[in-house]
């Protein structure tokens, strides 16, 4: 493994990912300038081994694009992604492939991420074949069984010959997790890992992820829209809005003492389980603006309930407030 | 006489081969004008089938027994002929994923006006005017009636499908997972809208969802469904603070809560899976997953019974099941 010993597991610095906007023929003939969507616009964070960071935000905020850029599925326009100290952003596929062992993805929908024609053994063993690990079938089976057990499917032998349709939603997601564990990754990217599952089994899958990062040398980047889940399971929360991280800090502190008006509004609309707890929902009008046409100044100012004049002119950067690890991008914080 | 009274509703589905699936097993509930009632449960518990049966919209492979009374009249008595007279005019529904089911080649206003003409409520300019008013009522400028669904955001499309359900001035609105695919901020806006409609128009609302906090914050009363039955029903506060069925208690404990986070309150999943509904169930359907099982539970099916004021539970030891 290359890279320095002391480097954090994952370092993302100033990451920017652009998507071109499709132009019609008329626009091209008229030589209209090409427009770009700033899906991710200068995102920085680090993740240590044994840690879980939740990237939280509404759809279109850039949280999934951030994960896809880290994975190398999308090339960044600028910025760096270092895994164990090695730069991986924009690496050509041939150099990226061996590194993929170290970072694995868990997708949202285990009904789609598993091939219905593959038995559990084939699905979990496929990454081993792709990476040429475990020469003999017996060796491979041992690794597959170990991964299934780690994913909480026990006894693993009972699951090997099953097809996805014979499994419940929670079991499917555990098979998908086993398939990402089988290579022994350092970093797991989990994109809404439980949002397709039934309430009664969600906690089990989240507890599994929690255990994996606590007892392993693994770090987990969880992408979610669910602040309650993030508050329960993550060490730190980064709130994204229109391609930027607007608040970032220890989970409990972000939830208890939010500093950014967007975080405050987002937290205020999370419904509580207890009917007696009535928060005062602070309904923001409208929806997240189009990322092609980002507002000037602070990108949240058109919807911000406390915006003042300079908010439309100055673009606030993330800066430390209260405690050392709590950062906010707001002029008024 | 209640506005809506569903009593002893059963639904069976025929399968291509093999036995029938008993999807809804004796569901009863009643609603008064302005009530906001939650129907909660996991996938496959029969909540959607219950409200589709209430609308008389189940496919021919389903057999239904029981009664659905609107103002005391059983609307299922004469099959499709009698149900059609009430559907949309008295009782309307916002389907799951309705926001994605708008016709992409028709203007939104036209789509809202169409059922009015069909049901003889209004037509032509009057229907168009009313479509505009309905859009205003759900928080969309009336001028947007001339726009197409793709010009709307997800939240606006969901508002438009609510406006469409309200086209014929129903008194009962059944909403199936109306906020599931939406962001939290938009979810809050839609729930706020539904609550406002129910208090301003006296609309009786049935909110079907798997999301307990959504029901807790929107509804006054709720029923928890499991394996086709209502296992507990009562005021929302009672369900949370004094649950009498272990499933209700465990379901709440499995739901992460923003306001419980940090107090090291564990979020615990419920082991096992719901029973198959194509086989007869002996004893309590929740017994294999329950954490307080008595001998009786495996043998005798517990009936829904009164355990407190307006509070019913189907558990043999409901008197102590709440204590945990």
Distance CA A119, CA A159 (A): 9
Percentage of residues of chain A with pLDDT beyond 90: 68
Q: For position B183, what pLDDT does the model report?
A: 87
Two structure tokens written together for A278: 């009535």
Strand partners, A46: A11
pTM of this prediction? 0.90
Closest-approach residue (CA) in chain A for B238: A275
Q: Does the pLDDT of residue A181 top 90, yes or no?
A: yes
- CB-CB contact of B322 with B243 (8 Å): yes
User: Looking at the partner chain, which of A169, A227, A283 has a beta carbon nearest the beta carbon of B189?
Assistant: A283
Residues sharing a CB contact under 8 Å with residue B17, sequence separation 6 or more, in sequence order: none
Domains of chain A plus CATH, in order, are 10-272+279-328 (3.40.50.300)
* B255–A270 C-beta distance less than 8 A: no
Q: For position A174, what pLDDT does the model report?
A: 95
Q: Is A292 helix (H, G, I), strand (E, B) or coil?
A: coil
* A272–B261 C-beta distance less than 8 A: no
- CB-CB contact of B28 with B68 (8 Å): no
Distance CA A20, CA B180 (A): 30
* Number of residues in chain A: 333
What are the chain A neighbours of B42 within 8 Å (beta carbons)?
198-200
Q: Find the mean pLDDT for residues A116-143.
A: 92
Q: For position B324, what pLDDT does the model report?
A: 44
Q: Is A284 helix (H, G, I), strand (E, B) or coil?
A: coil
**Closest by alpha carbon to A301, among A318, A316, A283?**
A316
The helix (H) or strand (E) run that includes residue A166 is none
| H-helix segments, A55-197 | 63-71, 93-99, 110-113, 120-131, 137-150, 169-181
pLDDT digits (tens, 9 = 90+) for A283-320: 887 777 777 888 999 999 999 999 999 999 999 999 99
Distance CA A125, CA A137 (A): 10
Q: For position B56, what pLDDT does the model report?
A: 92
* A200–B213 C-beta distance less than 8 A: no
The domain B4-90+170-321 is placed in CATH, from the list 1.10.760.10, 3.20.20.220, 3.40.50.300, 3.60.150.10, at 3.40.50.300
Distance CA B93, CA B75 (A): 16
3-state helix, strand, coil in chain A (%, to 5): 35, 20, 45
Distance CA B89, CA B292 (A): 46
User: How near does any CA of chain A get to the CA of B267, in Å?
Assistant: 6
Residue A278 sits at the chain B interface (C-beta within 8 Å): yes
| Residues with pLDDT less than 70, chain B | 261-264, 321-324
Q: For position A196, what pLDDT does the model report?
A: 87
Q: Does the pLDDT of residue A199 top 70, yes or no?
A: yes
Tracing tokens 């955001």 back to the chain, one arrives at B153
Distance CA B305, CA B312 (A): 5
The number of C-beta contacts closer than 8 angstroms across A and B is 130
* B251–A200 C-beta distance less than 8 A: yes
Percentage of residues of chain B with pLDDT beyond 70: 98
- CB-CB contact of A12 with A68 (8 Å): no
Tracing tokens 């998908």 back to the chain, one arrives at A176
What are the chain B neighbours of A275 within 8 Å (beta carbons)?
216-217, 236-237, 240
Domain locations in chain B as residue ranges: 4-90+170-321
pLDDT digits (tens, 9 = 90+) for A233-282: 999 999 999 999 999 999 999 999 999 999 999 999 999 999 988 778 88
Q: Does the pLDDT of residue A227 top 50, yes or no?
A: yes
User: Looking at the partner chain, which of B183, B192, B268 has a beta carbon nearest the beta carbon of A203?
Assistant: B268
Residues sharing a CB contact under 8 Å with residue B196, sequence separation 6 or more, in sequence order: none
Q: How confident is the model at residue A2 (pLDDT cuts 50, 70, 90)?
A: very low
User: How near does any CA of chain A get to the CA of B88, in Å?
Assistant: 29
Q: For position B127, what pLDDT does the model report?
A: 94
B interface toward A at CB cutoff 8 Å? 42-43, 153-155, 183-189, 191-192, 210-214, 216-218, 236-237, 240-241, 250-252, 254-262, 267-271, 273
User: How near does any CA of chain B get to the CA of A175, in Å?
Assistant: 16
First-residue to last-residue Cα distance in chain B: 38
Distance CA B211, CA B218 (A): 11
Exposure b/e, A293-317, CB count within 10 A at least 16 = b: ebeebbbbbbbbeebeeebeeebbe
Assign 3-class secondary structure to chain B: CCCEEEEEEEEEECCCCCCCEEEEEEEEEEECCCCEEEEECCCCCCHHHHHHHHHCCCCCCEEEEEEEEECCEECCCCHHHHHHHHECCCEEEECCCHHHCCCCCCCHHHHHHHHHHHCCCCCHHHHHHHHHHHHHHCCCCHHHHHCCHHHCCHHHHHHHHHHHHCCCCCCEEEEECCCCCCCHHHHHHHHHHHHHHHHHHCCEEEEEECCHHHHHHHCCEEEEEECCEEEEEEEHHHHHHCCCCHHHHHHHHCCCCCCCCCCCCCCCCCCCCCCCCCCCCCCCCCHHHCCCCCHHHHHCCCCCEEEECCEEECCCCHHHHCCC
Q: For position A3, what pLDDT does the model report?
A: 44
Residues sharing a CB contact under 8 Å with residue B27, sequence separation 6 or more, in sequence order: B6, B8, B9, B10, B46, B50, B66, B223, B225, B228, B229, B230
Exposure b/e, A104-136, CB count within 10 A at least 16 = b: bbbbbbbeebbeeebbbbbbbbebbeeeebbee
Q: Find the mean pLDDT for residues A29-34.
A: 82
Q: Which of A271, A279, A289, A303 to mutate to test the interface with B (most CBs of B within 10 A)?
A: A271
């Amino acid at each position: 493994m290359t890279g320095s010993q002391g480097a954090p597991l994952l370092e993302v610095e100033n990451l920017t990912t652009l998507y071109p906007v499709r132009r019609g023929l008329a626009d091209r003939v008229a030589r209209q300038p090409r427009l770009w969507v700033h899906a991710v616009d200068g995102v920085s964070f680090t993740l240590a081994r044994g840690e879980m960071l939740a990237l939280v935000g509404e759809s279109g905020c850039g949280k999934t694009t951030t994960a896809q850029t880290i994975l190398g599925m999308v090339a960044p326009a600028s910025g760096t992604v270092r895994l164990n100290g090695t730069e991986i952003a924009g690496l050509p596929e041939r150099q990226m492939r061996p590194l993929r062992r170290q970072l694995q993805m868990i997708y949202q929908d285990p009904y789609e991420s598993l091939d219905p024609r593959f038995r559990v053994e084939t699905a979990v063993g496929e990454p081993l074949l792709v990476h040429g690990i475990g020469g003999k079938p017996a060796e491979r089976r041992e690794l597959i069984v170990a991964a299934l057990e780690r994913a909480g499917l026990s006894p693993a032998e009972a699951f090997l010959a099953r097809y996805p349709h014979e499994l419940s939603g929670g079991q499917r997601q555990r098979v998908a997790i086993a398939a990402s564990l089988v290579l022994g990754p350092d970093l797991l990217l989990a994109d809404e890992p439980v949002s397709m599952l039934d309430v009664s089994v969600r906690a089990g899958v989240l507890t599994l992820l929690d255990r994996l990062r606590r007892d392993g040398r693994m770090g987990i980047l969880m992408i979610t829209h669910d602040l309650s889940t993030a508050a329960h399971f993550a060490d730190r929360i980064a709130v994204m809005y229109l391609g930027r991280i607007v608040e970032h800090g220890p989970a409990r502190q972000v939830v208890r003492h939010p500093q950014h008006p967007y975080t405050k509004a987002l937290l205020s609309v999370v419904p509580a389980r207890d009917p007696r707890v009535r928060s005062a929902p602070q309904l923001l009008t409208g929806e997240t603006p189009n990322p092609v046409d980002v507002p000037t100044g602070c990108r949240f100012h058109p919807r911000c309930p406390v915006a003042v004049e300079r908010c439309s002119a100055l673009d606030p950067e993330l800066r430390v407030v209260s405690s050392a690890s709590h950062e906010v991008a707001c002029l008024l914080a | 006489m209640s506005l809506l009274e569903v009593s002893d509703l059963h639904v069976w589905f025929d399968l291509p081969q093999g036995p029938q699936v008993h999807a809804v097993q004796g569901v009863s509930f009643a609603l008064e004008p302005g009530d906001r009632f939650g129907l909660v449960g996991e996938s496959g518990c029969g909540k959607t089938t219950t409200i589709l049966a209430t609308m008389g919209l189940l496919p021919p492979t389903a057999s239904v027994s029981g009664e659905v009374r609107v103002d005391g009249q059983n609307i299922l008595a004469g099959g499709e002929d009698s149900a059609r007279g009430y559907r949309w005019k008295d009782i309307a529904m916002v389907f799951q994923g309705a926001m994605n089911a708008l016709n992409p080649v028709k203007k939104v206003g036209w789509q809202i006006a169409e059922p009015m003409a069909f049901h003889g409520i209004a037509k032509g300019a009057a229907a168009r005017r009313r479509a505009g008013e309905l859009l205003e009522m759900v928080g969309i400028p009336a001028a947007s009636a001339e726009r197409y669904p793709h010009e709307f955001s997800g939240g606006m499309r969901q508002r438009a499908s609510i406006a469409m359900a309200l086209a014929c001035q129903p008194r009962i609105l059944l909403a199936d997972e109306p906020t599931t695919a939406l962001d939290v901020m938009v979810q809050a806006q839609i729930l706020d809208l539904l609550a406002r409609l129910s208090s301003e128009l006296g609309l009786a609302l049935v909110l079907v969802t798997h999301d307990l906090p959504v029901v807790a914050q929107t509804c006054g009363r709720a029923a928890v469904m499991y394996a086709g039955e209502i296992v507990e029903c009562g005021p929302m506060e009672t369900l949370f603070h004094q649950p009498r069925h272990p499933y209700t208690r465990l379901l709440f404990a499995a739901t992460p809560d923003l306001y419980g986070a940090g107090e090291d309150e564990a979020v615990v999943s419920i082991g096992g899976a719901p029973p198959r509904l194509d086989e007869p169930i002996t004893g309590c359907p929740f017994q294999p997953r329950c954490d307080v099982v008595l001998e009786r539970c495996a043998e005798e099916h517990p009936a829904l019974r009164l355990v407190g004021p307006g509070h019913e539970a189907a558990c043999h030891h409901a008197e102590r099941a709440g204590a945990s």
